[in-house]
Amino acid sequence: MSNATTGAQALLRMLEKHGVDVVFGLCGDTSLPLYDAMYRDPRGVRHILTRDERSAGYMADGYARVTGKVGVCEGPSGGGATYLLPGLVEANESSVPVLGLTSDVSVPSRGRFPLTELDQEGLYRPLTKFNTVIDRSADVPKAMRAAFRAMTTGKPGSAHLGLPFDVQTGPVEESEIWAQAEHGRAPSWRSAPAADDVERAAALIASARRPVFLVGGGVIAAGTEAVLTGLAERLDAPVCTTVSGKGAIAETHPLAAGVVGSNGGVLATRAVIDAADVVVVIGCRAGSTSTEHWRHPGPAAKIVHLDVDPNVIAVNYATEVALVGDAKLGLEALDEAIADRLKGAPPRDGGGRASVTEAKRIKWSAFRAIAERDETPIRPERLIADLRAVLPEDAIVVADPGTPCPYVSAYFELPRAGRRFLTNRAHGALGWSMSAATGAWFGRPEAKVVAIMGDGSFGFTVGELETLVRNRVPIVMIVVSNAVFGWIKASQKAGYDARYFSVDFSRTDHAAIAAAYGVTSFRVEDPRALKDTLARAVAHDGPVVVDVIAQPLQDAAAPVSQWMG
């Protein structure tokens, strides 16, 4: 074959043509041709060696969320392929474009009991948007184009490509190495809702007495925060967000009610959505968390649902008008149609601003009553208040599930719209935030990035401290240290009469562990020293750990509806 290159070289060329500049991963025997190709082309894609394939997947996820570009992770066959899977599952369910590359045993050795053989295609099939194991090196470019197209069009998601050893070394025709460049970021090839559906939705919303928006991460992914804010102002309509939708509107805006639902919502903000006669759901699935198991909004509210994925519309709520299409194009069309209907009318005053003002007054009054205390162990509310005070407005905050997520969702007020808060709400795996924050920093190195994790999560991911030191990644890691798997213990208290079982573990000196890795670290027990310590950590030009001895979640006043009653 003339003008041929190898499958591994072709793969790297295809990554570059799709705008990929960094790959997170971990080496293995079956990946040797790929690693040799990267060695021979040091000017190409940068490789970040991780200490765990799960971390590589989470780094790619964080990178993709803050850039809109496809995040890429890789790992070897066998155990590496199984460890890479959690990151792709989370990304797929969270509509984040992440490509997972796994190497594999040679095609001729299949079925002959080679070391690390497993059915990679069967493993990834139900958990990714696109998935294939490439059997011929000549098909590498075609498979890459298909994966990038799937990840970035329609509902974004993850993809998996398996690369057998001999596919990496076999020939690829040079003329096949080309890419559709716009498929390097999502959303690409946007589609708009049908015009007649837009008109029906506009008529319903414009005539509503108390319209309210329930907004998910699709608004941020589509980059249409400004249009949403303008439409809300036109209608005097409160904007409630899901956890993933936090940042769809500046949370200091007088119509921004904040996060609602069972993780980060409070009773006062629940009242805002309960008062609606029309709820406009945009870029979210109206799932169990955002609706408190489909109770808020209740059955009396009429629903307009805009989403790029028709399969999430009218699943949990009877829907008056379905708008199938990209959130940006759909909101722009809806805004124009509603503006035409309201032309010449006096400014709307349906009580939207007043209801949000009252909800915030109740919410923040209760928060400050706890956050301003000097009690020990340190209250989570105090941690959030002091962190917010010392971080710049463009900082990125990444929270693990457990103790950090509801507190950051409810109380870390974002003064600007945009993707400045990340959490893994699809499957909630512990140990996500440290690696996702690392990926976010590689995607947006000019921003101060903070990862907040419980001590349970720290135990999952501690090995990546070495990765941070080696790559000089200046993120701040805050460990909420209470020696318990707090979410489960709090649930045992609320739902099982405090029959605590197998949720407590030994106290760990996380600052000492971080120092052993060469990470600057602090340990804080006195709440009066917390703010200054956080300020020092934020100012530090390198990785830093702050170990905060905090109140256990089962004793706290967490914004979680199932514990509030």
Instruction: Give the pLDDT of residue 565.
Output: 56
Taking the model in full, what pTM does it have? 0.97
Contact criterion met (CB below 8 Å) for 443 and 69: yes
Number of CB atoms found within 10 A of residue 533's CB: 18
- The CATH code that applies to domain 195-355 is 3.40.50.1220
- Return mean pLDDT, the chain: 96
Q: Among candidates 272, 331, 277, 270, which has minimal Cα distance to 303?
A: 277
84 residue type, one letter:
L
Domain layout of the chain by residue ranges:
4-184, 195-355, 372-564
Contact criterion met (CB below 8 Å) for 407 and 478: no
**CA–CA gap between residue 69 and residue 71 (Å, rounded):** 6
Say whether 372-564 and 4-184 share the same fold.
yes
Instruction: Give the pLDDT of residue 561.
Output: 83
**CA–CA gap between residue 288 and residue 286 (Å, rounded):** 7
CA angle 526, 530, 531 (to 5 degrees): 150
- The pLDDT tens digits for 64-108 are 999 999 999 999 999 999 999 999 999 999 999 999 999 999 999
Q: Is the pLDDT of residue 537 over 90?
A: yes
Instruction: Give the pLDDT of residue 1.
Output: 41
- As to burial, measured by CB atoms within 10 angstroms (0-12 exposed, 13-18 middle, 19+ buried), residue 288 is middle
User: The domain 4-184 belongs to what CATH superfamily?
Assistant: Thiamin diphosphate (ThDP)-binding fold, Pyr/PP domains (3.40.50.970)
**CA–CA gap between residue 86 and residue 99 (Å, rounded):** 12
- The pLDDT tens digits for 199-247 are 999 999 999 999 999 999 999 999 999 999 999 999 999 999 999 999 9
Find the largest Cα–Cα distance for the chain: 77
CA atoms within 13 A on the CB side of 352: 29
- As to burial, measured by CB atoms within 10 angstroms (0-12 exposed, 13-18 middle, 19+ buried), residue 162 is buried
Q: Which CATH class is domain 372-564?
A: alpha beta
What does DSSP assign to residue 184? G
**CA–CA gap between residue 377 and residue 252 (Å, rounded):** 30
Q: Is the pLDDT of residue 288 over 50?
A: yes
Number of CB atoms found within 10 A of residue 4's CB: 15
**CA–CA gap between residue 188 and residue 17 (Å, rounded):** 16
The pLDDT of 489-495, averaged and rounded, is 94
**CA–CA gap between residue 394 and residue 421 (Å, rounded):** 10
Judging by DSSP bridges, how do beta strands 171-173 and 4-6 pair with one another? antiparallel
Instruction: Give the pLDDT of residue 564.
Output: 74
The pLDDT of 501-527, averaged and rounded, is 97
**CA–CA gap between residue 252 and residue 139 (Å, rounded):** 51
Q: Is the pLDDT of residue 402 over 90?
A: no
